[in-house]
Structure 1
Amino acid sequence: MSGPSLRKQDSHSSIHEAALHEAKELRELFRKCLEDGEKEKALQVAEVAIEHWESRTLKHAEAEEEGLYQDILKEKPELEKLVNQLTRDHDLMRRIVENIKMRLATQEPDYNMITLLDSLVIIDEIHNEDEMNKLLANSK
């Protein structure tokens, strides 16, 4: 069973928007650190960004998969394809976060990591739009 804030489109959207805004700020700070040649600070920002994605977006994703999506599928099984697509978005984000973590374990922060952070943002933006406009709008 999902919490009430996940079922309400406005509050759910606010959760997404806040997390995405923070992720974009961290990405920009990471880029600035690289531009300024501050590799150690860039490493710290990258670690915070990873923690952010894991504790905010991916924890939220887990709650959606275990609660909201299951509840919606019980009510509207015809939304299974959409739920599978949304779950795939979560899986892609998890894989990208793991990729960033592996890179940081073996190399210094670099501009390629910005591409990965941008990928997370793009996937999350599309995911959030689909969740609001296709899933929650159709599950009432």
Structure 2
Amino acid sequence: MSGPSLRKPDAHSSIHEAALNEALELRNLLQKCLDDGEREKALQVLEVTIEHWETRTLKHAEAEEEGLYKDIVQENPALKSTVIQLTRDHDLMRRIVENMKVMLQTQEPDKRMISMLDSLIIIDEIHNEDEMNNLLAMVKNNLGKIS
């Protein structure tokens, strides 16, 4: 069973928006550090950014998969393909974060890290929109009501 905030579209959307705004701020800070040649600070920002994705967005994704998505599919099996697509988004984000962690062990922070963060942000934006419009909107409209 999922937490109550995950089932309320407005609260759920606020969770997404806050995490995404923080991710954008961290991405922009990393860009500034790289532009200014601040290698050590860029490294620190990148470590915090990876931690952010792991502890905010990906933990949230895990909670969705373990509770909300299962509940929704149980109540409305027609939404299974939508849940599969949304879970795939989570998997892509996990893979990119893991790739960043591996790169960070062997390389200096560079513009490729910015590209990876941009990819994460784009996937997350699309995911959030799809989740709100294709899954939670149905719950809100009682088409996939969860008790």
Q: Same fold (TM over 0.5)?
A: yes
The one-letter code matched in structure 1 to 2:91 is D
Gaps of 5+ in 1: none
Cα RMSD for the two superposed structures: 0.4
Please state if 1:6 is matched with 2:39. no
2:80 matched residue in structure 1? 80
Runs of 4+ in 1 over 6 A off after TM superposition: none
Shift of 1:37: 0.2
State the alpha-carbon separation in 1 of the partners of residues 98 and 5 from structure 2. Answer: 28
State the alpha-carbon separation in 2 of the partners of residues 7 and 104 from structure 1. Answer: 36
Please state if 1:16 is matched with 2:12. no
State the alpha-carbon separation in 2 of the partners of residues 8 and 133 from structure 1. Answer: 13
State the alpha-carbon separation in 1 of the partners of residues 113 and 85 from structure 2. Answer: 25
State the alpha-carbon separation in 2 of the partners of residues 5 and 113 from structure 1. Answer: 32
Gaps of 5+ in 2: 143-147
Shift of 1:126: 0.2
Shift of 1:138: 1.2
**What are the superposed Cα offsets for residues 50-77 of structure 1, whole Å, 9 maximum, x if unpaired?**
0000000000000000000000001100
Shift of 1:87: 0.1
Q: How does 1:1-140 map to 2 (within 5 A)?
A: 1-139=1-139, 140=142
State the alpha-carbon separation in 2 of the partners of residues 76 and 38 from structure 1. Answer: 51
Identity of aligned residues (%): 76
State the alpha-carbon separation in 1 of the partners of residues 112 and 74 from structure 2. Answer: 42
State the alpha-carbon separation in 2 of the partners of residues 81 and 94 from structure 1. Answer: 20
**What are the superposed Cα offsets for residues 80-131 of structure 1, whole Å, 9 maximum, x if unpaired?**
1000000000000000000100010000000011000000000000000000
State the alpha-carbon separation in 2 of the partners of residues 134 and 51 from structure 1. Answer: 29
The one-letter code matched in structure 1 to 2:118 is D
State the alpha-carbon separation in 1 of the partners of residues 41 and 121 from structure 2. Answer: 21
State the alpha-carbon separation in 1 of the partners of residues 137 and 10 from structure 2. Answer: 11
Aligned pair count reads: 140
